[in-house]
Amino acid sequence: MQYSEIQAAKQRYSIIGNSELLNRAIDIAVQVAATDLSVLITGESGVGKETFPQIIHQYSHRKHGPYIPVNCGAIPEGTIDSELFGHEKGSFTGATGDRKGYFEVADGGTIFLDEVGELPLSTQVRLLRVLETGEFIKVGSSKILKTNVRVVAATNMVMTQAIRDGRFREDLYYRLNTVPIFVPPLRDRKEDVVLLFRKFASDFADKYRMPPVKLTDEAKVMLTNYYWHGNIRQLKNITEQISVIEQQREITPQILKAYLPNEDVERLPAIFSSHIDHKTFNSEREILYQVLFDMKKDMNDLKKLVHEIMSGQHQGATSYPDNSEVFFAKRDAERQEKAFLHPSTYDAVDDDLGYQEAEEFDEVETTPVPTSLEDMEKQMIRKTLEKHRGRRKAAAEELKISERTLYRKIKEYGIE
């Protein structure tokens, strides 16, 4: 596509930015619009995925037909089939009359399924039939209806992982993913951050009838290098806060820092959040407790083994180097326990054993102790998953947390 066509699409839909990745996504959207192929838009929450189905619809031959956006995650599981495909009178309690579903209403147009990964498996089967044959059946009916609808879907899920977890049908994924469009996160569009801030600042200045805020050069650098977990949505919210609250209209790094959440704090386990969900807090605290108990048990087992070796095969051996392996194994077991319970004593003289570090001998290598609560939690989750051979439901039950929380932790820690 010509650069001018990309710019025209940006201007029409108020898309700000010159990132190569962003331009590529717009290019694909405009090119695929002329076809009836299904499109799957992926990207993190807050990157602006909802704009691309509109581009596809308006640049297609269906632009005079209906465009219906549907948030699949906002519709209860018990009613989503009725919402999408309609129902007959008396098909369930409260069905006082016939109702057309979105696929019937959108005939000849485009339907946008946002958060498609949240669809129940039973609804996924129905959707697959619509995509393959253009046919559907209303809830409570046996009559087959036809529809001519272009389906564009979007999700912030890692769909391949959802397929492995059994939460999304593989055949539906490949049917939706005929043409993939990836919308890049804001941290991969560093050259666009200041442009977006300037646009939002201008909009809020008009909205609240005040001069627009401006960034100093140092503040621009800080803003550009920030991680932006919430992407464009987070940047817009922060710009609005600064526009409303700050009396000084030139924003310095010191002022900006007060509005940017600390990245290190955000990456800690959820129990350290300033807004604590007590249910989540209790479940994750139990994981940490179990990590501590298991580590204590492992060290006790190691001490017991060393004691048995020394009292049996090496009974009476009190000197080294002849018995150096046992000597240092016993020493390391004692020191590992002390390092875990009292880290400051790790390099101190071991008064309980009555000897000091022996510099002339190589120490026996020991398994490193996790250095943070995050490491301990990650280790416990991985250990439990290995125990249950990857069965997440069983692992979640043993960890006393929900499958949803376990899935979030696996994704957060990158556990395979």
pLDDT tens-digit series, residues 188-204: 999 999 999 999 999 99
Identify whether residues 85 and 131 lie together within a single domain: yes
Q: What is the pLDDT of residue 353?
A: 43
- We report the CATH number of the domain holding residue 260 as 1.10.8.60
| pLDDT digits 0-9 by tens, 136-153 | 999 999 999 999 999 999
Last residue of a domain, one of 143, 159, 184: 184
* Cα–Cα distance measured from residue 32 to residue 39, given in angstroms and rounded to the nearest whole number: 8
Average pLDDT estimate for 347-353? 43
Count of domains observed in the chain: 3
Which pLDDT score is estimated for 268?
40
247 and 329: one domain? no
Same-domain status, 180 and 202: no
348 plus 235 within the same structural domain: no
Side-chain-facing half-sphere of 275: CA atoms under 13 Å: 1
Q: Is residue 348 scored above 90 in pLDDT?
A: no
Summary mean pLDDT of the chain: 82
Q: Which two tokens stand for residue 164?
A: 């492995």
Looking at the fold, whether 301 and 394 belong to one and the same domain comes out as yes
Residue-wise DSSP of 88-135:
-TTSSTT--S-B--HHHHTTTSEEEEETGGGS-HHHHHHHHHHHHHSE
pLDDT (tens digit, 9 = 90+) per residue, 72-130? 999 999 899 999 999 998 888 888 889 999 999 999 999 999 999 999 999 999 999 99
> Which pTM value belongs to this model?
0.63
What pLDDT score was predicted for residue 312? 62
Report d(CA 168, CA 162) in Å as an integer.
6
Band of the pLDDT at 270, cuts 50, 70, 90? very low
Q: Are residues 312 and 410 in the same domain?
A: yes
DSSP one-letter code for 39: E
What single-letter DSSP state applies at residue 226? Answer: S
Same domain, 40 and 139: yes
| Rounded alpha-carbon distances, angstroms, from residue 107 to 82, 133, 148, 194, 297 | 16, 14, 5, 42, 64
Task: Assess whether 147 and 255 both reside in one domain.
Answer: no
Cβ-based neighbour number of residue 121 at 10 Å? 11
Distance between CA atoms of residues 399 and 401, nearest Å: 6
**In terms of domains, do 129 and 212 share one?**
no
Q: What is the 3-state secondary structure (H, E, C) of 301-346?
A: HHHHHHHHHHHCCCCCCCCCCCCHHHHHHHHHHHHHHHHHHCHHHC
What pLDDT shows up at residue 289?
64
Which of residues 184, 199, 233 is at a domain's end? 184
How far is it, in rounded angstroms, from Cα 306 to Cα 238? Answer: 58
Q: Average pLDDT of 232-237?
A: 96
User: Where is 41: in which H helix or E strand?
Assistant: strand 39-42
156 & 254 share domain: no
Structural domain harbouring 54: 3-184
24 with 107, same domain: the answer is: yes
Residue 352 pLDDT level (bands cut at 50, 70, 90): very low
pLDDT band, residue 333 (cuts 50/70/90): low
pLDDT in tens, 12-63: 999 999 999 999 999 999 999 999 999 999 999 999 999 999 999 999 999 9
Give the end of a domain, one of 132, 164, 184: 184
Q: In terms of DSSP bridges, do strands 110-114 and 67-71 run parallel, antiparallel, or are they unpaired?
A: parallel
Query: In angstroms, rounded to a whole number, what is the distance separating the alpha carbons of residues 351 and 331?
Result: 11
pLDDT at position 402 is 84
Whether the pLDDT of residue 357 is over 90: the answer is no
Q: Give the pLDDT score at 9.
A: 92
- In a shared domain, residues 18 and 123: yes
CATH code for position 135: 3.40.50.300
Q: What is the mean pLDDT of residues 374-397?
A: 84
